[in-house]
Structures are given as structure tokens and as C-alpha cells.
Chain A
Amino acid sequence: MATLDVAAGRLGAASRSGALSRNARTVAMVWERELIRFRRSQARIVTGLAQPLLFLVVLGAGLSKFVGNRGAAGVSYQAYLLPGVIAMSVLFSSLFSAISIVWDREFGFLREMLVAPVSRTALVLGKAVGGGSVSILQGIVLLVAAPFVGVHLTFLNVAEMILLLMALSFGLVSFGIVVASRIQRIESFQVVMSLVVNPMLFLSGAIFPLQRLPGWLGVAVKVNPATYGVDPIRRVMLGDKGALTLGGSVVPIWAEVLITLAMGSAMLALAVRSFRRTD
């Protein structure tokens, strides 16, 4: 009995002293794993790029004559669509990134993480940061299309955009984690997400401008949290004055970012709570 206590004490002390740095390193490791996995699944990279490009090239070209030039900056429809498809790419991959949790559960790896002496919060943060960076990477790659649709970006524009994409992504990734924590099967996760992702995309102003919408649609757009993530991206990229009005006046960009961050934080808190109950 005495030897057991000595051993336990020694181990306890060791684990206490390293708990904080171990959790920090765990976040980094879970994050790194998501990046490694992304790099090694070529199919995911290709499909992740193919869909937004299809929208930009086909939908953009097809509708451009019909729609004409848009916005205060008077840009072409394809230029208008570029920030939209970048947002769309981030929206899709962020929402679906948490599928890796369902995946890990199905293939047992989740257990390897859950029996480890690290906090559940560290695991969720790692997953959130990992899923977020992969999504943002996919969005950024689409910027190569900018010169072809007549959008000229400065280094500052790109930097601002990355920050805005982060703000948009982290709430969506967290929402995905909330769903993934309660779902056991990959198919169910996909079904739930498909129900969410399309309305969220179409009602966000990513595809069509927000001006002069029919009343009911205008309301739906304003209720959709993604709208406040997508609009700032367009404003930064196109030098747009902003099309989102509440009570007659244009919503300032800082308010949009604030709304997005607030939603994101609430979602992340919820994600941590849901994931804690996973077993």
C-alpha cells in the first residue's frame, strides 16, 4: 500500500506541474494533425476548390450579362461573386470540418484522445483551430482568381480578409462541433449539415446582392448569422460601402464583425460544453 501511495504522489506532482503546457501543446498537436490530414487527402483539396470555382466561372459567366454591373463600385457580377464564393468555400468547409470528430469516433481515435490526461477544452480548441485554418486556406487559394475577374487586391486587403474569414469560420466550426458531439454516425452528420448549409449560403448575400429584396427575403437574410460574416469580406475586397441596412441606415463594418465574433464565441462555448459530455 505504501509503495502505491509513493508512486501515485510522484506521478500526481509530475502531471500537475505540466498540465498547462501539456494542454497548450495538445491544442497545437490536434491542430497539426488536422493540417497533416488535410495535406494528405488530395480528394478533399480538389473538391474543396472545384465547387467554388464552378460557381465563379459558370454561374458568374452565365448570369453576368443578365445581372449587369453591381454595387457602389460598379463591378462585374463575377467580381461581385468572388468574395461570395470565397465565403461559400469557408462556410462549407468550416461547417463540415467537425465531421472529423464523428470520423474519429467511428475509427476509434477519439478514444485515444478522451482517455488522455488533457482537458476536453484543449481538444475542442485544437479541433476548432485546425478546422478553421484548413477552411481559411481553401478560401485564400481562391484569391488566385482575383485578377481574372478584375479584382485588384493590396496586401492590406488580403490581410484584412484573412482576419474576417477567421471571424466567420470560428463560429461555423464551433457550430459543427456542437452537432458532431451529439451525433454518432457520419451519414447523420452529413444530413444535418446539408439542411443547414444551403439556406445559410443562399440567405447570406454570397450569391446575390442584398439590395431591393422582397420583404420576407430581406428579413430572412438579416436573421442569418452568416450574412454578417460575408458582407464585411465583400466590403473589404471590393471597396463596397456595404449593402446591409437595419432601420434605414447602413450597418457599420465594425458592428458586423462584432456580431460575427459574438455569435462565434457563444458557439465555441456551446461546443466546449457539448464535447465535454462526449463519451
Chain B
Amino acid sequence: MEVEHLVKRFGPFTAVDDISFTVEPGELFGFLGPNGAGKTTTISILCTLLTLTAGRARVAGHDVGAEPDAVRASIGLVFQELTLDDLLTGEENLRFHATLYGIPRSELAHRMGPLLEMVGLTDRARDRVQVYSGGMKRRLEIARGLLHSPRVLFLDEPTIGLDPQTRTHIWEYVDTLRGEEDTTMFLTTHYMDEAERCDRIAIIDHGQIVAIDTPSALKASVGADTVTVSTSDDALARKQIIQGLGVEGELTTDGVRLRVPNGEAFVPRLFEHLTVGVSSVNVRRPTLDDVFMKYTGRDLRDAESGMGERMRMNPMVRSFRAR
């Protein structure tokens, strides 16, 4: 997959502003960013659902503008919104998909069984999707996205709202698929452990790619541990730390959050300068959350669809944070 100087404008609004990146065959590529950063627009262009304003994009070796059908035949999609037919059974949904992708009946029988097994829907395959729970629908959708063994699989928050056990199952299958069929994966997620699995991650914000590298390189780029100290008076503690150690902390609900190069060595010095009562100290190596925070100014979790927005809007939470 090659994207060169991709631009997408909606009227005066630029949703994707000149992004370029390459995804190697067989790579698991993470595409992270806050809502409204241009993630969905980029995916829609790569899936031929939107046309691009400027630039070039090739998926599985085919130009998305010039050869949309060749691109469509090579990709599979698992979107965060459901795209199933409620009145059809699970099996009928899969059969419909198989027809669209030209999978012969004989082969369908071979592929459908193991996939239904993987997502734990073997017993329910003949029930209408109408009576499925949200998690079951999602699992069926994943099975369907994998049905035609695409060369490139787009996973747009594929496991959102699923229980940990099913998520583990799905990732096991995804790993197998990558091992056996060399499938390229393009993933968006708000789960840190899923982002951690990626070979490389791109972070997009305001329509531009602000960082692109392996998870470990990205974490190294943050270059600092996070020390969180909870005290009887966090505001005073923060002031004392600035005065005594020259480190500007950030007030959070957990206490004062500090970024320092060497967390363990910093803690004893911290105690020397604090006069308020300390209830807990936590030292953490950089995580992808910190990476995300550094480049977008937001938590990976906070950026989760709607959830973060609602939390911020909630007056209870706001007043709690203001204290």
C-alpha cells in the first residue's frame, strides 16, 4: 500500500492534508488518531468509497482511482458500524458476501465452518441476525471480512465492545492469517494492547501524520518516564516540585503527573522537596498512551468514539477534575 501526498477536501474543509506513507506486504499497520483527525476519511479513500482530491493511493498494487474494482477484490473490511442484514441469518449474510466476492460454493463450505468456529457462532449461524447480541453481530462481521481471504484487511476498531476472551480469539486468528496468507492489516484502535501488536504505527492529527514508526521507537521518542504522586494537597505539591526541582507537573485526578528522564532516581529527590503528606507514588515507563498524548495532546482512551466526549461534557466529571 502506497499513499503519496493524499489530500481530501470537503468544500473549504481539508479533512486529509497531504499525507504520505507506505505499508509493506504482510505488515500490521496501526493508524491512530483522535476522532475527526482524518482516520475514517483516509480509510474510505483507500477502500474506494470516497474519491481523493489530490495525490495518489495504491492498495495491493492497484490505483484506487483508476482500478477501483481490482482494489475492491483485494481488500476486506471490518468497520466499527455494523453492515449486516438483520433479516438474514448469519449464514445467509456470509453466503451473500461470498457471492459478491466470487467464492465458489464448494470453497465457501470449507471456509465458513472454521470462521464461524473462531467467532463462536457455529450454533447460531442459522438464526436471524436480528436476534444476535451486539457482540455476536460484531463477531459475524469479522468472520465475513475474513471470508474471501483479502490481501489487505482494513480493521476499523474491530474489537470495540467485545469481551476479552473473544478479542483474544480474534487476535489469535489474525496472527494465524498473517502467518499463513501474508495478509496486510490496516488497523485503527483505541486499545493500547492492540496498538502494541502493530509492526508500525502512524499517528494522524488534524489531517496530518504527526508520527510514524515502530511502537518501541515511538515510546523511546517520548524519552521520559511518568511519575504520578498523590498527596494531601496536590496543588501545593505541584508548586513545591516546580520550586524545588524545576519540573512542571500536571494536575490530574490521580495526583500530580510529572515527566522525567529517569523515574526511579527521581523519586528520592522528590521526597526531599515535598512537605505535604504523600499517599502514593507511581513510576511508569512510557506507553503508547504517552506517545499518543505527546503527539495529539489527548489520551488514546479519551479519543475513543464518543466516550471521551461524553465524559468531558459530563458536569460531574468536570467539577471533579477542577478540584
Contacts and interface: CB of A to CB of B under 8 A. Distances in A.
Interface residues of B, number: 35
B294 to A, nearest CB: 33
B178 to A, nearest CB: 14
A119 B72 CA distance: 11
A8 B60 contact: yes
B4 interface: no
A247 interface: no
Contacts of A25: 99, 102
Nearest to A11: B74
Interface in A1-48: 3-5, 7-8, 11-12, 15, 18-19, 21-22, 25-26, 28-29, 33, 36-37, 40-41
Given A5-B61, A36-B92, A112 B73 contact: no
A8 B61 contact: yes
Contacts of B100: 22, 26, 29, 112-113, 116-118
Most A CB within 10 A of own CB, among B72, B73, B77: B73
Nearest to B181: A7
B48 interface: yes
B96 A12 contact: no
Given A4-B60, A36-B88, A36-B92, A112 B97 contact: yes
Nearest to B76: A115
A117 B49 contact: no
A26 B73 CA distance: 14
Interface stretch (A103-111, A167-175, A179-187, A236-244): A103-111
A22 B97 CA distance: 11
A223 interface: no
Nearest to A114: B49
Contacts of B139: none
Nearest to B62: A8
A22 B74 contact: no
B151 interface: yes
Nearest to B130: A40
B29 to A, nearest CB: 14
Given A8-B61, A8-B62, A33-B96, A15 B50 contact: no
B184 to A, nearest CB: 9
Interface stretch (B79-87, B230-238, B274-282): B79-87
Contacts of B57: none
B265 to A, nearest CB: 46
B171 interface: no
A116 B72 contact: yes
Contact of A29 (B49, B72, B75, B96): B96
Contacts of A107: 82-83, 85-86
A111 B102 contact: no
Nearest to B104: A18
B83 A111 contact: yes
Nearest to A112: B83
A53 to B, nearest CB: 25
The interface residues of chain A, by DSSP majority, are classed as: helix
Contacts of B25: 3-4, 7
Contacts of A33: 85, 88, 92, 96
B77 A115 contact: yes
A109 B61 contact: no
Contacts of B88: 33, 36-37
Interface string B254-279: 00000000000000000000000000
Interface in B175-194: 182
B111 to A, nearest CB: 15
B101 interface: yes
A233 to B, nearest CB: 31
Contacts of A41: 87
A18 B49 contact: no
B51 to A, nearest CB: 8
Interface string B1-42: 000000000000000000000000100000000000000000
A40 B86 CA distance: 11
Contacts of A12: 62, 70, 73
Contact of B82 (A26, A108, A119): A108
A115 B86 contact: no
B47 interface: yes
B87 A40 contact: yes
B69 interface: yes
A113 B61 CA distance: 22
Given A15-B69, A117-B73, A26 B61 contact: no
B197 to A, nearest CB: 22
26 contacts: A3-B182, A7-B61, A8-B60, A8-B151, A11-B74, A11-B151, A12-B73, A18-B102, A22-B101, A26-B100, A29-B96, A29-B99, A33-B88, A36-B92, A40-B128, A107-B83, A107-B85, A107-B86, A108-B84, A109-B83, A112-B96, A115-B48, A115-B75, A115-B77, A117-B72, A117-B73
Interface of B: 25, 47-50, 60-62, 69-70, 72-75, 77, 79, 81-88, 92, 95-97, 99-102, 128, 151, 182
Across the A-B interface, the 10 shortest Cβ-Cβ residue pairs: A8-B61, A117-B73, A116-B100, A108-B83, A22-B102, A117-B72, A29-B99, A15-B73, A112-B83, A18-B102
